[in-house]
Structure 1
Amino acid sequence: MDKQSNSTLEPLDLALSAKQGIAPPLRPRLHSVTLFGTAREIVIEHAGEEYRLRLTRQGKLILTK
């Protein structure tokens, strides 16, 4: 595909929503300060597993299992 035809493609959910005349589903949004508070690392439990979400000195996020 060339750039021109690629730029006209829409994600499937947006295309279907537009055709059906309904708004696309919204994703929940959380601010990192809500999750971290004053901490630099939090633990997230998912499907019985623990994941660590860390905030780096540069302000980036790292998720590890």
Structure 2
Amino acid sequence: MNSQPKPPAQTLTSSAPTQRPRVDSGALLQGSSAVEIEHAGQRYLLRVTRENKLILTK
């Protein structure tokens, strides 16, 4: 069998910016002032304060 050589492995450089998914808070809240989020079997509450800030509590 003919095996082709593998290309060299690419390395990540520390100067490359990290790409993270971004979700608009309006898409999560859907007009509500709070939404429950389930993560690893735990339930969290994400809510908007009177000052229009977000608070995540367990």
TM-score (norm 2): 0.70
The corresponding residue for 1:58 is 51
The corresponding residue for 2:13 is 16
Q: Which has the larger radius of gyration?
A: 2
1:2-49 CA-to-partner distances (Å, cap 9, x unmatched) read xxxxxxxxxxxxx8244xxxx534100011100011100000000000
* Residue identity matched to 1:26: Q
Matched residue SS, 1:34:
helix
List runs of 5+ in structure 1 lacking aligned partners.
1-14
Matched residue SS, 1:16:
coil
Higher normalized contact order (CA 8 Å, seq sep 6+, divided by chain length): 2
RMSD over equivalenced CA pairs, Å: 1.8
TM-score (norm 1): 0.63
List runs of 5+ in structure 2 lacking aligned partners.
1-11
The corresponding residue for 1:37 is 30
Identity %: 51
Q: List, as ranges, runs of 4+ consecutive aligned residues in structure 1 with deviation greater than 2 Å.
A: none
